[in-house]
Amino acid sequence: MVELNAQFAALADPTRRALLARLALGEATVSELTEPFDMTQPAISQHLKVLEDAGLITNRVDGTRRPRRLARAGIEAVDHWLAMLRTAMEKNYQRLDEVLAGEKRKGTMR
Amino acid sequence: MSRMTLQTEGDTHVVVTRHFAASPEAVYRAHTDPELIQRWLLGPEGWSMPVCVSEATPGGKIRYEWTNGKGRGFHLTGEYVELTPYSRIVHVERMHLPDPTPDNLVETKFQPDGDGTLMTLRMTLPDEPTRAAMLATGMEQGMEASYTRLEAIF
| Structural domains in chain A (count) | 1
**In which residue ranges of chain B is pLDDT below 70?**
1-2, 43-44, 97-99, 129, 132-154
Q: Smallest CA–CA separation between B24 and chain A, in Å? A: 10
How far apart, in whole angstroms, are the C-alpha atoms of residue B56 and residue A14?
Answer: 29
| Range(s) of the domain holding residue B69 | 5-125
Q: Let me know if residue B85 belongs to a domain.
A: yes
Q: Is B15 on the interface with A (CB under 8 A)?
A: no
At residue B141, the pLDDT reads: 34
At residue A6, the pLDDT reads: 75
| Range(s) of the domain holding residue A59 | 2-106
Q: Smallest CA–CA separation between B58 and chain A, in Å? A: 24
How far apart, in whole angstroms, are the C-alpha atoms of residue A102 and residue A97?
Answer: 9
CATH number, domain of B94, equals: 3.30.530.20
- Within 10 A of A46 (CB to CB), how many other CB atoms are there? 12
Q: Let me know if residue B143 belongs to a domain.
A: no
Of residues B17 and A80, more confidence is placed in B17
Phi-psi region of A12 (alpha: psi -120 to 50; beta: other; left: phi over 0): alpha
The per-residue pLDDT for range A45-58, each reduced to its tens digit, is 999 999 999 899 99
At residue B150, the pLDDT reads: 36
- Selected residue of B35, B68, B70, B97 to mutate for chain A interface (largest A Cβ count, 10 A): B97
At residue B3, the pLDDT reads: 77
How far apart, in whole angstroms, are the C-alpha atoms of residue B20 and residue A100?
Answer: 8
Q: Let me know if residue B148 belongs to a domain.
A: no
pLDDT exceeds 60 at position A40: yes
CATH number, domain of A62, equals: 1.10.10.10
Task: Say yes or no for a CB contact (<8 Å) between A17 and B134.
Answer: yes
User: From residue B85, how far is each of B26, B35, B124 by CA, in Å?
Assistant: 11, 18, 22
Residue of A nearest to B29 (CA): A109
